[in-house]
């Protein structure tokens, strides 16, 4: 693509080695020592495995429903039993669970989970810190119960109802996990499939569940700004996270965007993409992918994350950072941010 100037690969690697060195500078690190918020992690994955060997299944199942609420039956429907014909109410839970955990593929995944997450003390500390930071900025935030589960390589982090948060630990076993090949997981996603990314994905999902505004039809640029608000939120509730992690990029991808920001913006303008609400364009530039359509292979798939965050940061800089995070998230829409940001990279 003629608009984007490619840095020599060696230079990109050199620059990428410094990515994150000073990028956290200026982010507020709130004093949360007096905030009472704690992550309580329940190991649903281990409880389910143990349930397959229970002699008194009915008693065990009653205890699971008391402990996990509707999530237990949701997991059965979604991951173990699947759709059932209308009117089929036969009690097949015990047999289905035993067959599920007798499957070699499922057992291999659970073995990897058990090996990588012998305990969740570190994760509990990281999520507790995250919950405290969110509560600092949003005092009415309700700390959810955290449930870990075996998703059979199909689900990462998501909210379940208002009270629970579910983490598929098998999606965070490390980018070199050998089973990701047989599971058909794209290589370009694997750098994010590490334990370090769980708080980042948790912050993103919590934003979507609690703070994301209801919006109508938007242009690509407005959608980028909404994504930028989300990225800005993540950067403040995870103040030590490097920018590349906030974007969901590799270090080299983040540095490439930084060095080519002006040309990226020129590309969107020259292609007349910014002010149209084309769903395919949003998928191309805001969705996951090995790269972004029309751009060099060094460009990340969801390059809209990068542009969106730069616009929001410019807006906050223009406003003197006098706008509280909660107000930015809840009171400022994309049109207002765009009009006041006056984003023009390179000027």
Q: Where are the domains of the chain?
A: 37-210, 214-341
d(CA 209, CA 212): 7
User: What is residue 24's predicted lDDT score, i.e. its pLDDT?
Assistant: 56
- If you search the block for the tokens 């590799």, which residue do you land on? 250
Q: Are the CB atoms for 171 and 156 separated by under 8 Å?
A: yes
Q: What is the 3-state secondary structure (H, E, C) of 41-60?
A: EEEHHHHHHHHCCCCCHHHH
Which residue from 204, 224, 228, 233 is spatially nearest to 284, judged by alpha carbons? 224
Cα angle 24-195-31, degrees, rounded to a multiple of 5: 40
Q: pTM for this one?
A: 0.90
Ordered DSSP codes for 245-260: HHHT--HHHHHHHHHT
pLDDT of residue 88: 67
Using alpha carbons, select from 122, 234, 148, 251 the residue that is nearest to residue 191.
251
**CA-CA distance, 232 to 306, in Å (whole number)?**
11
Q: What is the dihedral sign for C-alpha 227, 220, 285, 18?
A: negative
Q: What is the pLDDT of residues 220-256, one digit of tens each?
A: 999 999 999 999 999 999 999 999 999 999 999 999 9
Q: Are strands 145-149 and 157-160 parallel, antiparallel or unpaired?
A: unpaired
Close Cβ partners of 196 (under 8 Å, ≥ 6 residues apart): 245
Cβ(226)–Cβ(242) below 8 Å: no
At 112-161, the pLDDT tens digits run: 999 999 999 999 999 999 999 999 999 999 999 999 999 999 999 999 88
Residue 55: how many other CB atoms lie within 10 Å: 6
pLDDT of residue 17: 39
pLDDT of residue 162: 77
Distance, CA of 61 to CA of 56 (rounded, Å) = 9
**Looking at residue 43, what is its pLDDT?**
97
DSSP letter (8 states) at residue 147 = E
Return the pLDDT at 4: 38
Per-residue pLDDT of the chain (347 residues; tens, 9 = 90+): 333 333 333 333 333 434 444 455 568 889 999 999 999 999 999 999 988 888 899 999 999 999 999 999 999 999 998 877 776 677 889 999 999 999 999 999 999 999 999 999 999 999 999 999 999 999 999 999 999 999 999 999 999 887 899 999 999 999 999 999 999 999 999 999 999 999 999 999 999 999 998 888 999 999 999 999 999 999 999 999 999 999 999 999 999 999 999 999 999 999 999 999 999 999 999 999 999 999 999 999 999 999 999 999 999 999 987 899 999 999 999 999 999 999 999 75
Residue 260: the pLDDT is 97
Interior angle at CA 32, CA 329 and CA 121, nearest 5: 100
Nearest to 257 by CA among 313, 298, 200: 298
- Give the per-residue pLDDT at 26: 61
Three-state SS at 236? helix
Phi, psi of 103 (to 5 degrees): -70, 130
Do residues 233 and 130 lie in contact, with contact meaning Cβ atoms separated by under 8 Å? no
> What is the token pair recorded at 344?
């023009």
C-alpha 172 chain-centroid distance: 12
Q: What is the pLDDT of residue 347?
A: 59
């Amino acid at each position: 693509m003629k608009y984007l100037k490619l840095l020599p690969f060696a230079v990109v690697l050199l620059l990428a080695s410094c990515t994150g060195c000073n990028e956290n500078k200026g982010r507020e690190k709130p004093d949360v020592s007096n905030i009472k918020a704690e992550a309580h992690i329940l190991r649903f994955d281990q409880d389910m495995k143990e349930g397959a060997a229970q002699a008194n299944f009915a008693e065990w199942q009653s205890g699971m429903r008391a402990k996990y609420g509707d999530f237990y039956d949701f997991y059965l429907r979604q991951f173990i039993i699947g759709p059932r014909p209308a009117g089929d109410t036969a009690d097949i839970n015990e047999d289905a669970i035993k067959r599920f955990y007798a499957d070699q593929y499922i057992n291999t995944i659970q073995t990897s989970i058990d090996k990588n997450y012998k305990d969740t003390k570190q994760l509990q500390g990281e999520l507790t810190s995250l919950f405290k930071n969110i509560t600092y900025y949003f005092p009415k935030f309700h700390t959810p119960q955290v449930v870990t589960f075996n998703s059979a390589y199909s689900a990462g982090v998501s909210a379940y109802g208002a009270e629970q948060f579910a983490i598929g630990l098998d999606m965070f076993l490390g980018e070199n996990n050998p089973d990701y090949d047989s599971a058909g997981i794209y290589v370009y996603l694997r750098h994010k499939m590490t334990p370090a990314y769980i708080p980042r994905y948790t912050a993103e999902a919590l934003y979507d569940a609690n703070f994301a505004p209801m919006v109508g039809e938007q242009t690509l640029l407005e959608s980028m700004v909404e994504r930028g608000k989300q990225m800005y939120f993540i950067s403040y509730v995870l103040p030590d996270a490097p920018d590349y992690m906030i974007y969901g990029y590799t270090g080299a991808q983040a540095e490439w965007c930084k060095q080519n920001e002006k040309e990226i913006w020129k590309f969107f303008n020259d292609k007349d993409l910014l002010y149209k609400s084309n769903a395919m364009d949003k998928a191309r530039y805001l969705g996951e992918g090995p790269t972004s359509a029309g751009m060099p292979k060094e460009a990340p798939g969801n390059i809209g994350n990068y542009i969106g965050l730069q616009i929001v940061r410019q807006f906050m800089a223009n406003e003197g950072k006098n706008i509280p995070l909660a107000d930015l998230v809840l009171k400022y829409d994309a049109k207002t941010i765009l009009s006041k940001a006056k984003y023009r990279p390179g000027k």
